[in-house]
Structure 1
Amino acid sequence: METNNTDTTPKPSSLRWKILRQALLRRYSLQNSDDQSRIRISRRATHGFDLIPSKLVDKVPDSRDVRVCYTLPVAAGCRKLLLTQRVDNSTADLTDFEICNRYNIDNTGLVCHWPSEDVLAFFCLSHVDMFRSKRVIELGSGYGLAGLVIAATTEALEVVISDGNPQVVDYIQRNIDVNSGAFGDTIVKSMTLHWNTEDILDIFNTFDVIIASDCTFFKEFHKGLARIVKFLLKSTGPSEAIFVSPKRGDSLSKFLEEIEETGLHFSITENYDAEIWKRHQAFMNGGDSWPSYDKDHCYPLLVRITL
C-alpha cells in the first residue's frame, strides 16, 4: 500500500511565531499611537551547553544590545571573539515582527543565543582541518558565532555568514568588523540569504562546506532549505553540509525527507563529540544547571549531508 506523506499541515508549535506576529501587529493597528516601543513582547532566555566560555563585557549605550566576549579554547592558546547581541532578558519591538512578515522569515535569530549554535561552534573548533583552505557558508547564522569561530581558528579560504533576516545580518556585519583582526588571511563576509531565493547565481556550486544549527524547526522552510543546500554545495571534489539540530518532534525527520527528495544523501550521528556527550548525559541525569532539559528538544544530533 502506498502511504501519502504529503501532508504539510503545520503543527501548532511551528505556527507560534507567525500567530504571535499577526496578533500583535493587529493589536497595534487598532491603537492610535506612534510609539511602537510601548508594545513589547517578552523573550525566552535559554539554558545551554556552555562549551565556549563567555562573559558580558558591557552594554551598548542607548540600545538593547550588549557586548559578549567568547574565549575560544584552541591548541595555540586562547583566542577571543567579541559579539554584539541583544541582551538575554530584553524585549522585542513590533518592528521585529513587521520585518518577519515582510520578508517571510522567523524572528528566532534575534531572540537569544541558541544552544545548538554553541554546540556547532565547539564542534568546528574540534575539527579545524575540515575547514582549512575551504570555502564555507553558515546558514541561518543568528549572531554568527560558529562562522566567526571558523574564520578565526581554521585558516579557511573564505567564510560567508548568512541569515534571511536583514536585522540579523546587521549584527553579523558588526561582529565581523570588530573581530576582523582575528581572521588572518581568511575572507569573511555577511550575506542576506533567504532560502527560497532564486537569485543565487553568483554563489551557485561554490562552497566546500555548509554549516547550520537548529535550522530545521519550521517545516514551511524545509523545501527551500534542502534546495539551497543542493545549489550551494560544490559539485567538483568533496563537499558536505554539517547540520546540528535536535529532533523537535518530527521536524528533523521531515526535513531529512526533503533532503532525500532533493537527491541528496545524509547520515546521522548521536554521539559525535566526547565533551558534548558528557554534558548531555549530565543533563539527562538531572543536573541542576538545566532542570527542564529534554533530549528531543535540546540535544542536537549531527547530520552530514552530501551530494
Structure 2
Amino acid sequence: MSTEILQVTEDKVKRKTGSPKDGTTAQRRWRLLARALTRSPELYPEGEDEISVRRFTSFDLLRPLILENVADAESSWYEYSTVIDNELFDVQIRKINKNFTANELIGFNNTGNVCVWPSEECLGYYLLKNRNICRNKVVLELGGGMSCLAGVLVAKYCNPSGVTLTDGNVTSVDNVRCIVARNSMADFVRCGVVQWARAANALRQAGNNGNRIQSWDAEAVDESRQTDGLYDVILSADCLFFDEARLDLVETIYGWLADDGVALVMAPRRGPTFQRFAEAALKRGFLARQNEHYDAKVWSRHLELLKHNQEYCPDLHFPILLELTKQTKTPPG
C-alpha cells in the first residue's frame, strides 16, 4: 500500500534519537522511524538497519485507489478493495495531508500513524476470509493508528454486534471517526482514545480491590458504551514495536477480554520483540498459539517475495498471527 506523505523536521528527530552511534534498542527504533519519515541517509550509517520497513509496503492483498472527487487540502481519500471468492470488499480510508512534527509522533507508540503497515493489511484480509470469527461478537481494536483498517473491515463486512476502534493518539482517533462516518457505520461503531498504560493501571487497581472494571476511563475514551469492560474479540496489528509498552498491552487485553473470547495479535517477529510479548502473555495467564500459515495466499506471497524481492525481510515484514485465549479454570471435584 502507498505510504502517507509525512515529514519530520530532522533536527527534532536527531534530538530525540541522539547520535547515530547510540546503541540502545529504543534509540535504534526511533532512528528507524526517523528514516521512514525523513528518508535522511545521515541518520543511518551505511550497513545499519539496511532493510527499512518502508522499502516493503504491501502483500498486495488490498489495493488502494485514490478517490479524486473527494480529495481536499487537508486529506486524501482512498478506496481499499479486494476480491475473495468472487465477492468484492471495499472501504474508504482517509489519509491526512499534513507535515507531522516530531512532538506529534513522539510520546506514544505512534509509528502506526506513519502509514498502513503490512500487518494491518494481513489481519484485515484474514478476518474477511474468516468472517465467522467476529460474527455476532463485540469487537475491540487496540492501537489501530490512523485507519483502524482491520476493525473498519470487520465493522462493514463481518456482522459484529458492536465494534470499538481505539488508538492512543487523538489525531488518529479523530481521523478514524471520519472514516467511520464516510463508510456509514457511525450508528454502531464507537471510537475513542485508549492509552494502554492508563488502561492497564486502572485494571490492576480494580483487580487489587477485587472489582471488575465497569466502564471506560471517562477522560480517555467515549464512555457511551457502558459494559463490564469485556469483549469477545480483541484485535491488534503491529503494536509490539516498543518494549516498554509490552506489559501494559498484555494487561489491557487480559482485562478487557471475555473469558471465552479471543485476541488476535498480528505482528512480525522483529528480533525478540514478538516472542517476548508471547512469553509475557503466557505469564499473565493466556494460552498462546503462534500461527505462520494462517492464510494460503499470504503464505504463497511470502514465499514468492523470499525468492524475488531483495528488500523483503521476513523478520521485519512477515506478520505472525498470535491467538490469545484465557486458560479455562477447572471446576472443583
Contact kept, 8 Å, 2:138 with 2:163, in 1: the verdict is: yes
Q: TM-score normalized by structure 1?
A: 0.78
Aligned counterpart for 1:152 among listed residues 134, 156, 163 = 156
Q: Distance in 1 between matches of 2:32 and 2:61?
A: 32
**Stretch deviating more after TM superposition (226-235 or 75-84):** 75-84
2:94 matched to which residue of 1?
84
Alpha-carbon distance, 1:282 to partner: 0.3
1:15 matched to which residue of 2?
27
Q: Which amino acid aligns with 1:301?
A: I
| CA distances 1:154-175 after superposition (whole Å, capped 9, x unpaired) | 1100111110111111111110
Contact kept, 8 Å, 1:226 with 1:259, in 2: the verdict is: yes
- Identify if the C-alpha distance between structure 1 residues 227 and 275 changes in structure 2 by more than 3 Å, giving closer, same or farther: same
Aligned counterpart for 1:300 among listed residues 310, 316, 319 = 319
Q: Distance in 2 between matches of 1:119 and 1:81?
A: 15
Q: Indicate whether 1:55 and 2:101 are aligned.
A: no
Q: Indicate whether 1:69 and 2:79 are aligned.
A: yes
Aligned counterpart for 1:42 among listed residues 38, 59, 70 = 38
Secondary structure of 1:70's aligned partner: strand
Q: Indicate whether 1:225 and 2:249 are aligned.
A: yes
1:257 matched to which residue of 2?
279
| CA distances 1:135-191 after superposition (whole Å, capped 9, x unpaired) | 00111112111101101111100111110111111111110010016x8xx821111
Alpha-carbon distance, 1:100 to partner: 4.6
Q: Indicate whether 1:98 and 2:103 are aligned.
A: yes
1:131 matched to which residue of 2?
134
Q: Which amino acid aligns with 1:15?
A: Q
Secondary structure of 2:196's aligned partner: coil
Secondary structure of 2:308's aligned partner: coil
Q: Which amino acid aligns with 2:131?
A: V
Secondary structure of 2:270's aligned partner: coil
Q: Distance in 1 between matches of 2:130 and 2:325?
A: 18
Contact kept, 8 Å, 1:173 with 1:190, in 2: the verdict is: yes
1:109 matched to which residue of 2?
112
Q: TM-score normalized by structure 2?
A: 0.73
Secondary structure of 1:283's aligned partner: helix
Q: Distance in 2 between matches of 1:259 and 1:11?
A: 27
| CA distances 1:164-220 after superposition (whole Å, capped 9, x unpaired) | 111111111110010016x8xx82111111111145631554100011111112100
Unaligned runs of 5+ in 1: 1-9, 24-40
Contact kept, 8 Å, 1:246 with 1:300, in 2: the verdict is: yes
Q: Distance in 2 between matches of 1:226 and 1:17?
A: 21
Q: Distance in 2 between matches of 1:201 and 1:11?
A: 43
1:38 matched to which residue of 2?
none
Unaligned runs of 5+ in 2: 1-21, 40-53, 203-212, 216-226, 327-333
Alpha-carbon distance, 1:17 to partner: 5.7
Q: Distance in 1 between matches of 2:100 and 2:160?
A: 37
Aligned counterpart for 1:277 among listed residues 299, 307, 323 = 299
2:181 matched to which residue of 1?
177
1:118 matched to which residue of 2?
121
Percent identical residues: 27
- Identify if the C-alpha distance between structure 1 residues 252 and 17 changes in structure 2 by more than 3 Å, giving closer, same or farther: closer
**Count, aligned residues:** 264
Alpha-carbon distance, 1:229 to partner: 0.5
Q: Indicate whether 1:197 and 2:216 are aligned.
A: no
Q: Distance in 2 between matches of 1:53 and 1:20?
A: 26
- Identify if the C-alpha distance between structure 1 residues 20 and 247 changes in structure 2 by more than 3 Å, giving closer, same or farther: closer
Alpha-carbon distance, 1:11 to partner: 6.9
